[in-house]
Structure 1
Amino acid sequence: MVLNQTDVPAFPKINAIVRANGTAEVVVAGNSRNVKAAESLQQLRDNALSLVVREAKTLNRPVRVQVNDPEGQGELIVNPDGTKESVSYVAKASRRRVAEAPDPAAAPPAPAAAETPIPAPINDEPISDVPGTVPLATGTSMTLTPETTSTPEAQEAPTRRSLKETSFLVSAPVLEPATQGWRGALTRLGFRMDPSAEELSEREDIRTVSQHWPGPRTIAVVNRKGGANKTPTVVMLSAILARYSGAATVAWDNNESQGTLGWRTEKGAHDRSVLDLIDSSTELLSPSTNAAEIAKFVHHQTADKFDVLRSDENEEGDHEVTAEEVDIAHQVLTRYYRLVVMDSGNTARAANWRRMIHHTNQLVVPVTAIEDRAEAARLTLQTLESRGGHDAELARNAVVIVSESTDAKRAMSGDALKRAKDEAQRIADGFEPFVRAVVRIPYDPALVNGPIRYEALQPATQRAWLAAAAAVATGF
């Protein structure tokens, strides 16, 4: 993607700080990342900018970075391919005091007395860095004392460094010992073991989904084909993000008529839906309304710590949610929640579907490993890309979640399970060049029928959904 400098957004805010003491950090949207140590200042700069390049690759676009190092400060544009463009740069003034050039108008010095011996040639050695010394003809030095100093200017104190330019906090964070596998078992026996690469990867995913970000975020889960795993995806992303981040999270069934999110989640002590919330929007948006009033309209998930806003379930089923109603409901929910995860219907042309996309920060496209589901996902992304602007940016930055498609009986067959895994990998590989991230989810019977609970999933499925949630949160 090629952008002019003025077109490169300032979000997320990125600072690269390189210090004279050999440490550096890159701060992305308030989150600090330590830079790998290096033998030279230039290598340290390169290591810091490699983290910025990684961020540009994640966003699939150029990013701005404010650079501050011992030699100067300025702003760069860093592209996903690693190329850099300078926007501004200001060099820092040197701390070494440069001797003033002699005044050509001044009178020449008086000739030395005849009996004064001619000194030996002066060595071409640099001026000593030790304050108060000057080199002599033999290469030795003489210390100037108040008695030997001829002018007051020679006693001027050397320029001191600012305390802002140093820090005593240079230690890397202590790595917590292993808690999993045989390494964790040895740690519990008193033998401190470092975590494995797998455990470190899991910790990084947990750190990613545990962050808090400025302002509310909206996730849209879309695929124009039914049975593509949209509702389970909404439930799992909501559960993981709510559990780890502690952010107030709501899953909203934005089906144009009647959706199934309410069937797959826990029901509260009332029957209210999105239409009731819209009818009460004036009261809910009033500054005097207590935050707890939202509980009258949503259904809390007691184990997974998020709320559900159900679609309309009237018997006639004759109401279709309009674009204006989506605006009203979204305004209400973003007042009470930091994270809104939206389920959707199967019609990309519907007014409520298109208005959902208008409010979306991160697009998620679930697909089961069946050809027609994958093709529907591709067409959904193609439709958004063809619309250009915000819609196209969402499509390019999308996260595709591929779930293995099988059933419990077939899963008992080794050949059938292998075929299901191979098909899931083929579809994942097909999407990878066109979106920001692709994550595979193994088959799990707990996702097939009935209410979905995070704790009911197998450990491998929980780990895969954690990776999917981390890929989504990276886009925030």
Structure 2
Amino acid sequence: MNFDNVPPHPRVSATIDPDGVAEVIFDGVPHYLRSGSLPGARRDVTTYVAQRARDVLGRAVLVHVSEPEGRFELAVHPDGSVDERASRDQAPDPSALIHDPQSDATVMTRVRPPAGPATQESAPEPAERPDVAEPAAFAEPAARPEPPTPAVRFEPAEPAARAEPPTPAAPAEPAAPAEPAEPHAPATQAPAGRAPAAAPDHWAPPPRPAEPAAEQLPPSPHRAQPGSYPTQPARQAPFPAPGQPPSSMPSFSPSVPQPAGPAYPPQSGGSASVPQPAGPVYPPQNAGPAYPQQTGEPALTRRQLRESFLTQEQVEAPASTGLRGVLARAGIKTAPSAAERSERSDRNTVSQHWPGVRTIAIVNGKGGANKTPTTALLAAVFARNSGAATLAWDNNVTRGTLGWRTDQGPHDATVLDLLPEVDNLLSPGAKAGDISHYVHHQPADKYDVLRSNPNLLSSETRISAPDVDAIHDVAGRYYRLVFVDSGNDESAENWLRMIDKADQLVVASIAKPEHAEAGALLLEELVARGGRSAELARGAVVVVSQAREKDTKPAASDIAQGFTGWVRETVTIPYDRAMVESVLRFDSLAPATQRAWLRAGAAVAAGL
């Protein structure tokens, strides 16, 4: 296609980033396309411009494209077909310098695409010549004979009109060896020593005026025609047609050297193969179109191409803590600090509502590992921030102390009082407030506690696996989050059944080697069990608390470092005297401790 026939107005340009974001400026109005990949961006650009050309102009438009692989000029037609040529300011391809082993001469040439089929009247006599010859320093010796070889094809000019390709002429007899023709010699006859090859069936070589070699190298515009090409692969265009998936073949830019390919097979009328320029070559005239055609995939609709007016813009709240918060409250708009943004992110993470019930098991086979404070304070973090109904369940039959470390309600009911009422609590006529007869609400921290009875021997408080199923069903009926404080007997039925019910595992430990080792051994045993237990162990969160203020050898960070790589995340909690007192309340903790527990809650929430 002659690009001069495409009106330059409206001006259309497209810029494509490597990450697949494209900006199309159509007559001064920008439009953004976000495809996520470079091939997808190319497809979306051609689809968008083709639709504008069809709906607005009714004719082809010329598009200037800038992308990571170069700059291109595309003529995009209303039917989605595309004509492409490389930008004129690209440098010649260094691979155009090839070596002819038959003559020990170096020849600069480029095989270039035909502009279109020549008419029968305009086709000259079939003859071929080198496209550009090198200076005399590279001329082949005069006295050295060489066998006849087919000449290298040269560039065609634009045809006057489209027509059927001419019938190939019979090849001529090889001529006697002689000196090659001077550079830019007219193509009226084949150079001495070269056999004039038969005219290709896809173009005819018209004469052209002499011009500097540097001006002959940039490729001419073309538009490939439908057809077949059995001997050479078609050149992959950098922009696919609308609706066509990107090809696995790499794109080709004329200014980028490509790896050397195999020699072409002998052309008709020749007796030997001629080495061709390295890298991909342009297809002949009867090759398939350079741009893949549409394969039935529906084009994007106007609604899909149009940007919605209902896009939501995230507006960040001003700072609320520290000096920035003081300035914001004084009326000076101040952005939050990085620390405040991190805290907001963690708070937003624990404030989510997940579909269905989520069960979090807090485990460690050694007593005194801080399981009960971890259960209570994690439940407080989620209940206070998300507002979801949250239950802390003491599943320890060996004198569990969760009831001692939390506020007691107006009764002294325990899990043993709830078990006989399971059927009533799960019946269709049960009310939301019926569960309050058996749990103890925490007014400040907004969660409920299902106590065990630490006043009885463990033999009198045995909980079987079916009991755990029944209690969990009741908990799932009235609560959305269930935190389970486990016991120390890892072989007990209720402990093993709790693991089967858990969605997230939290290993609690203090900064002591024996407690950390107990937690690590427990994780190893769960991995050895395989299945669901192994998944929980690999995705566990380890919470290490500094148990003593002055005893920092080892420190909580040292213990947490030992778990790094074996679990999903580790969190350390600084020493806080309020965690040692009898009743656990989140508001009584120091700000640094509260921030650490919020970080622990966000780590747990990430696994839900």
Matched position secondary structure for 2:524: helix
Matched position secondary structure for 2:570: strand
Q: Determine the structure 1 residue equivalent to 2:307.
A: 167
Shift of 1:178: 1.1
Say if 2:391 is the partner of 1:247.
no
Q: Determine the structure 2 residue equivalent to 1:266.
A: 407
* Pairs within 5 Å for 1:116-195: 124=221, 161-168=301-308, 169-170=310-311, 172-195=313-336
Shift of 1:195: 1.0
Q: Determine the structure 2 residue equivalent to 1:211.
A: 352
Residues 189-217 of structure 1, C-alpha deviations (whole Å, 9 max, x = no match): 22211111111100100110001111100
Q: Determine the structure 2 residue equivalent to 1:353.
A: 495
Q: In structure 1, what is the Cα distance between the partners aligned to 2:544 and 2:467?
A: 31
Selected match of 2:594 from 439, 457, 462: 462
Shift of 1:387: 0.4
Say if 2:590 is the partner of 1:448.
no
Q: Determine the structure 2 residue equivalent to 1:87.
A: none
Counterpart amino acid of residue 306 in structure 2: T
Give yes or no for contact 1:222–1:363 (8 Å, CA) kept in 2: yes
Give yes or no for contact 2:395–2:452 (8 Å, CA) kept in 1: yes
Q: Determine the structure 2 residue equivalent to 1:256.
A: 397
* Pairs within 5 Å for 1:412-427: 416=550, 419-420=552-553, 423-427=555-559
RMSD over aligned Cα atoms = 3.2
Q: Determine the structure 2 residue equivalent to 1:3.
A: none
TM-score w.r.t. length of structure 1: 0.67
Residues 208-262 of structure 1, C-alpha deviations (whole Å, 9 max, x = no match): 0001111100000000000100000000000010011111000000013431000
Residues 393 and 315 of structure 1: is their aligned pair in 2 closer, same or farther, counting only changes over 3 Å? closer
Say if 2:97 is the partner of 1:97.
no
Give yes or no for contact 1:21–1:166 (8 Å, CA) kept in 2: no
Shift of 1:177: 1.3
Give yes or no for contact 2:416–2:461 (8 Å, CA) kept in 1: no
Say if 2:435 is the partner of 1:294.
yes
Q: Determine the structure 1 residue equivalent to 2:368.
A: 227
Give yes or no for contact 1:301–1:307 (8 Å, CA) kept in 2: yes
Q: In structure 1, what is the Cα distance between the partners aligned to 2:372 and 2:383?
A: 16
Shift of 1:383: 1.2
Counterpart amino acid of residue 274 in structure 1: V
Give yes or no for contact 1:220–1:364 (8 Å, CA) kept in 2: yes
Give yes or no for contact 2:475–2:482 (8 Å, CA) kept in 1: yes
Q: Determine the structure 2 residue equivalent to 1:311.
A: 452
Q: Determine the structure 2 residue equivalent to 1:395.
A: 537
Shift of 1:187: 1.5
Q: In structure 2, what is the Cα distance between the partners aligned to 1:160 and 1:433?
A: 46
Q: In structure 2, what is the Cα distance between the partners aligned to 1:442 and 1:175?
A: 30
Shift of 1:316: 4.9
Give yes or no for contact 1:257–1:311 (8 Å, CA) kept in 2: no
Residues 19 and 338 of structure 1: is their aligned pair in 2 closer, same or farther, counting only changes over 3 Å? farther
Residues 194 and 445 of structure 1: is their aligned pair in 2 closer, same or farther, counting only changes over 3 Å? same
Q: In structure 1, what is the Cα distance between the partners aligned to 2:22 and 2:376?
A: 48
Q: In structure 2, what is the Cα distance between the partners aligned to 1:314 and 1:451?
A: 18
Q: In structure 2, what is the Cα distance between the partners aligned to 1:377 and 1:434?
A: 12
Q: In structure 2, what is the Cα distance between the partners aligned to 1:275 and 1:69?
A: 64
Give yes or no for contact 1:249–1:339 (8 Å, CA) kept in 2: yes
Matched position secondary structure for 1:202: helix
Matched position secondary structure for 1:226: coil
Shift of 1:423: 2.1
Q: In structure 1, what is the Cα distance between the partners aligned to 2:332 and 2:42?
A: 42
Q: Determine the structure 2 residue equivalent to 1:365.
A: 507
Give yes or no for contact 1:273–1:313 (8 Å, CA) kept in 2: no
Give yes or no for contact 2:22–2:34 (8 Å, CA) kept in 1: no
Instruction: List alignment gaps of at least 5 residues for structure 1.
Output: 1-17, 23-38, 47-67, 73-93, 101-108, 112-118, 128-158
Selected match of 2:516 from 350, 359, 374: 374
Point out which structure has higher relative CO (alpha carbons under 8 A, 6+ apart). 1
Selected match of 1:333 from 475, 478, 488: 475
Q: In structure 2, what is the Cα distance between the partners aligned to 1:364 and 1:163?
A: 48
Matched position secondary structure for 1:199: helix
Give yes or no for contact 2:383–2:446 (8 Å, CA) kept in 1: yes
Give yes or no for contact 2:381–2:598 (8 Å, CA) kept in 1: yes
Residues 327-352 of structure 1, C-alpha deviations (whole Å, 9 max, x = no match): 11001111110000000111111110
Q: Which has the higher helix share?
A: 1
Instruction: List alignment gaps of at least 5 residues for structure 2.
Output: 1-18, 24-31, 45-75, 83-118, 122-157, 162-219, 225-298
Shift of 1:167: 3.0
Counterpart amino acid of residue 97 in structure 1: D
* Pairs within 5 Å for 1:47-126: 97-98=79-80, 124=221
Residues 285-344 of structure 1, C-alpha deviations (whole Å, 9 max, x = no match): 001111110001100001100000001345455221111110110011111100000001
Give yes or no for contact 1:247–1:339 (8 Å, CA) kept in 2: yes
Q: In structure 2, what is the Cα distance between the partners aligned to 1:360 and 1:322?
A: 16
Q: In structure 2, what is the Cα distance between the partners aligned to 1:99 and 1:379?
A: 66
Shift of 1:402: 0.7
Shift of 1:99: 6.4
Quick one: percent identity of the two aligned structures? 48
Larger radius of gyration between Structure 1 and Structure 2: 2
Q: In structure 1, what is the Cα distance between the partners aligned to 2:42 and 2:368?
A: 57
Q: In structure 2, what is the Cα distance between the partners aligned to 1:430 and 1:314?
A: 37
Q: In structure 1, what is the Cα distance between the partners aligned to 2:22 and 2:362?
A: 47
Counterpart amino acid of residue 357 in structure 1: I
Residues 217 and 160 of structure 1: is their aligned pair in 2 closer, same or farther, counting only changes over 3 Å? closer
TM-score w.r.t. length of structure 2: 0.53
Q: In structure 2, what is the Cα distance between the partners aligned to 1:211 and 1:314?
A: 37
Shift of 1:166: 3.4
Residues 263 and 95 of structure 1: is their aligned pair in 2 closer, same or farther, counting only changes over 3 Å? farther
Q: In structure 2, what is the Cα distance between the partners aligned to 1:259 and 1:71?
A: 64
Shift of 1:173: 0.9
Shift of 1:384: 0.8
Counterpart amino acid of residue 398 in structure 1: A
Q: In structure 2, what is the Cα distance between the partners aligned to 1:166 and 1:173?
A: 21
Give yes or no for contact 2:22–2:41 (8 Å, CA) kept in 1: no
Q: Determine the structure 1 residue equivalent to 2:560.
A: 428
Residues 343 and 96 of structure 1: is their aligned pair in 2 closer, same or farther, counting only changes over 3 Å? farther
Residues 120 and 373 of structure 1: is their aligned pair in 2 closer, same or farther, counting only changes over 3 Å? closer
Give yes or no for contact 1:256–1:353 (8 Å, CA) kept in 2: no
Q: In structure 1, what is the Cα distance between the partners aligned to 2:532 and 2:508?
A: 20
Q: Determine the structure 2 residue equivalent to 1:153.
A: none
Matched position secondary structure for 1:434: coil
Counterpart amino acid of residue 368 in structure 1: I
Q: In structure 2, what is the Cα distance between the partners aligned to 1:429 and 1:385?
A: 20
Q: In structure 2, what is the Cα distance between the partners aligned to 1:451 and 1:424?
A: 23
Q: Determine the structure 1 residue equivalent to 2:229.
A: none
